[in-house]
Structure 1
Amino acid sequence: MRLTVIGTGYLGATHAACMAAIGHDVLGVDVDEDRIAALTNGQAPFYEPGLSELLREQTEAGRLRFTTSYEEAAAFGEVHFVCVGTPQHKDSGAADLGYIDAAIDSLAPHLTHPCLVVGKSTVPVGTASRLAERLAGAAPVGSRAALAWNPEFLREGFALDDTLRPDRLVFGIGPEAPEAEAVLRAVYAPLDPEPPLVVTDLATAELVKVSANSFLATKISFINAMAEVCEATGADVLQLSRALSYDTRIGGRFLGPGIGFGGGCLPKDIRAFQARGEELGVDRALRFLREVDAINLRRRERAVELAAELCGGSLTGRRVAVWGAAFKPDSDDIRDSPALAVAARMHALGADVSVFDPKAMDNARKVQPELGYATGALAAAEGAEVVLLLTEWSEFSEIDPTAVAAVVAQRAVVDGRNALDRARWQGAGWTYRGLGRP
């Protein structure tokens, strides 16, 4: 099939490469000429394991190419996937739908033959039905330019696997486009094994993604709330989490205590969900998400407090090493990164902060240029009075505490992800503090 992917950011570039990999002819579309040039050369504009290699493979095979022309995309595509961002508004928690409206407005006037437009972006419930009307009103073929919704469920660091071997597919189909189900089934037919499929209405499909992210955020904040209780009682949150994980009703995934979640999805999605709930008059049903968000932000502040305690009560003039800038390992994404937020907060309190991250250094420098940046983990720790592990890259977890001890000014570590072997570090003479641990 001939597919276009509109928006070549994290979601779009991944989706385009994977759709080409399962045999479709794919045209990626973006207004950013530099990004299109890089993608054409097989270079992903961000770090995702395996993506650059897949891009090169598919562009060289001729199944994947890129353009800045919506007119070319409209003429080429049978199915148009819309994968643009829906960031948080600068002045509120609501989602900014400007990019997705612009994508529809740019594509629709060129649609002169019947096609299916498929939204994959995360949007407030009710957006799809509005866009369906907008699309039909602006397209020369009218309602024969149909719209469906197919939410994405990608995890950064696992995006290729999540696209090629998803744990489920969701198709949101409106009553005016019953043929959309057959088209989407054909798009994903090459997937092996065949994933579970939920075919539903547009509104339910929109709610699936925000509901999933809200549930995950709640689970993470729950164990971090228990970490606060553990700190007050002398209990150990890691042992608590382990005991809870054996309950099949709860499970252990996303039950890891630390400095909380970040990234481009969970924080902005739960805030947008609350904002939409207020618009719909069901804000009481989603009020718990405010506390979920608040717990998450408190964990960042707690890491700062622990660092200050290890420095005698104040960070002013203290040299601090921060291991990690990305919001999670196997990613260079620093959007709403807890690690970078903690580093910036300590800098604001007068600390001399030196940061190292295996992949996110360039992105971190762009948004926090006032911080110091090192060439490696040991270089960041040189002369430090406290070391903070804030992104659980394996190279940090596996580092030799004795080697680190040889370069620091004081053997004090804050394990913001509970990823270090406490006994090993204490055995090397370190004062160890983990969030939620005695």
Structure 2
Amino acid sequence: MRIAVLGMGYLGVTHAACMASIGHEVMGVDVDVDKISQLRAGHVPFFEPGLDALTARMVQSGDLRFTASYEEAARFADAFFIAVGTPQKRGEFAADVSAIDSVIETLGPMLDRPAVLFGKSTVPVGTAERLRSRLKELAPAGPDVELAWNPEFLREGHAIHDTLEPDRLVVGTAQQGAPGAITVAREIYSSVLASGTPFIVTDLATSELVKIAANAFLATKISFINAIAEVCEAAGADVVELADALGHDRRIGRAFLNAGLGFGGGCLPKDIRAFMARAGELGADQALTFLREVDAINMRRRTQMVDITRQLCGTLLGVRVGVLGAAFKPDSDDVRDSPALNVAGQLQLQGAAVSVYDPKAMDNSRKIFPTLSYASSAMAACAGADIVLVLTEWEEFRELNPRELAAVVSHRRVLDGRNCLDHQRWIDAGWQYRGFGRRPSSAAM
């Protein structure tokens, strides 16, 4: 099948390359001509494990091409995937869907033959029905153009796997039914469905809510264990052992029960805020008031990290801090709403001399915080440090040798913002170790 993917951000490039890899002819579309030039050369302008190689291979095979022309895409494709961003509006909680509106306004008048559009972007519930109505007005093919919603459930760092081997595929259509869209979706994802992936057909509103509800639940689970970590610290308990015990309960599970600095990135923070905003518009604002506390707990972790650093060092003025991690999570170069980079910036603003190292996110970090100092390695970032902060749980940081690192720091203090280190190993190497919600006997010397 000939497919066009509209929007060559993280979601769009991943989806385009993966669809090409399972046998479709794919055209990636973006108005950013510089980005299109990079992609045509087989270079992905962000880091996602394996995606550079997959994209280059699909470009070389001829199954994946890129354009900045909507006209070319309209002539080429029978199915379209909308994968543009829906960031948080400036000064508001609500999502900015102007990029999606622009796609419909631009592409709609060019659709003069039967086609199916699948929305993949995360949107406020009700957006799909509004776009479907507008598309019917704009498209010369009128009723022969269908709009369905096919939400994405990608994890950065695992995006290829999550596209080709998803937990489930969800397709929402207009309530009166859109058999053409379902048939096309089954054809596009035939190889994925052949492996037994659940295929859920529902209405537009439910399909929109599936994604946002999933993100709200994950955010709640993360903030829950972080709130419990605060209680553990007050009570002298250990949150890691507690989470392990909770995880054995099949109703709860261990995933996302890792206390630490909290969540960030381009999805969870803005999605739960947009969910609250939309619920308010629908008159159901009381249903989601708990998400305000979820958000507050998450943001409080960043301030607590700064406060704990001050407590351990006595002051922040002139203190040399080695920060390990800038991306919001490992296996990514994404620094959007990154807790790690936020903490580094706060420390600097309060008088600390901060040196940052991240395996992949250095260039993106410099764009946001150009005044921070950046190092070429973990050892260089920690040279002369009065305290070391581990803020992103890269495997490289987990595997650091505390005895080797001790040789370059001024003081052996480590603040494990992700509870990812073997704390006993660091203590045995003479370090003062502090984690979030860890038992005091393990956390202080």
State TM-score, norm by structure 2. 0.97
Aligned to 1:342: 343
| Misfit runs of 4+, over 3 Å | none
Alpha-carbon distance, 1:146 to partner? 1.0
* SS, match of residue 118 in structure 1: strand
Q: Which amino acid aligns with 2:337?
A: D
- Asked if 2 retains the 8 angstrom alpha-carbon contact of 1:303 and 1:435, the reply is no
Distance in 1 of aligned mates of 2:387 and 2:15: 42
* SS, match of residue 148 in structure 1: strand
Distance in 2 of aligned mates of 1:138 and 1:321: 55
Is the aligned partner of 1:153 residue 2:153?
A: yes
Q: In structure 1, which of residues 193, 196, 199 is the aligned counterpart of residue 195 of structure 2?
A: 193
Is the aligned partner of 1:319 residue 2:323?
A: no
Aligned to 1:9: 9
Matches within 5 A, 1:30-429: 30-174=30-174, 175=176, 177-191=178-192, 192-312=194-314, 314-429=315-430
* SS, match of residue 433 in structure 2: strand
Alpha-carbon distance, 1:177 to partner? 2.8
Deviation sequence 1:102-156 (CA, Å, 0-9, x none): 1111111111111001100000000000000111111111121110000000000
Q: How many residues align?
A: 437
Alpha-carbon distance, 1:91 to partner? 1.1
Identity of aligned residues (%): 61
Q: Which amino acid aligns with 2:100?
A: I
Distance in 2 of aligned mates of 1:182 and 1:55: 27
Aligned to 2:443: none
Distance in 1 of aligned mates of 2:249 and 2:133: 47
Q: Which amino acid aligns with 2:233?
A: E
Deviation sequence 1:58-90 (CA, Å, 0-9, x none): 111111000000001111110000000000001
Distance in 1 of aligned mates of 2:170 and 2:133: 21
Distance in 2 of aligned mates of 1:403 and 1:310: 22
- Which is further off, 185-194 or 200-209? 185-194
Distance in 2 of aligned mates of 1:95 and 1:144: 30
Distance in 2 of aligned mates of 1:103 and 1:210: 21
- Which is further off, 374-383 or 141-150? 141-150
Alpha-carbon distance, 1:298 to partner? 0.9
* SS, match of residue 190 in structure 1: helix
Q: Which amino acid aligns with 1:213?
A: N
Once superposed, what is the RMSD of the aligned Cα atoms?
0.8
Alpha-carbon distance, 1:216 to partner? 0.4
* SS, match of residue 243 in structure 2: helix
* SS, match of residue 191 in structure 2: coil
Deviation sequence 1:13-44 (CA, Å, 0-9, x none): 00000000000000000000011111111111
Deviation sequence 1:39-62 (CA, Å, 0-9, x none): 111111100000010011111111
Deviation sequence 1:267-296 (CA, Å, 0-9, x none): 000000000011001011000000000000
> CA 1:176 to 1:195, structure 2 compared with 1: closer, same or farther past 3 Å?
closer
Distance in 1 of aligned mates of 2:349 and 2:436: 22
Deviation sequence 1:365-421 (CA, Å, 0-9, x none): 000111110000000000110000000001101000011111111110100000111
Q: Which amino acid aligns with 2:93?
A: G
Deviation sequence 1:167-192 (CA, Å, 0-9, x none): 10000011263321111111100225
Q: Which amino acid aligns with 1:249?
A: R
* SS, match of residue 256 in structure 2: coil
Distance in 1 of aligned mates of 2:186 and 2:321: 53
* SS, match of residue 28 in structure 2: strand
Distance in 2 of aligned mates of 1:72 and 1:405: 59
State TM-score, norm by structure 1. 0.99
Alpha-carbon distance, 1:194 to partner? 3.1
Q: Which runs of 5+ in 1 are unaligned?
A: none
Distance in 1 of aligned mates of 2:422 and 2:305: 18
Alpha-carbon distance, 1:8 to partner? 0.6
* SS, match of residue 433 in structure 1: strand
Distance in 1 of aligned mates of 2:61 and 2:2: 15
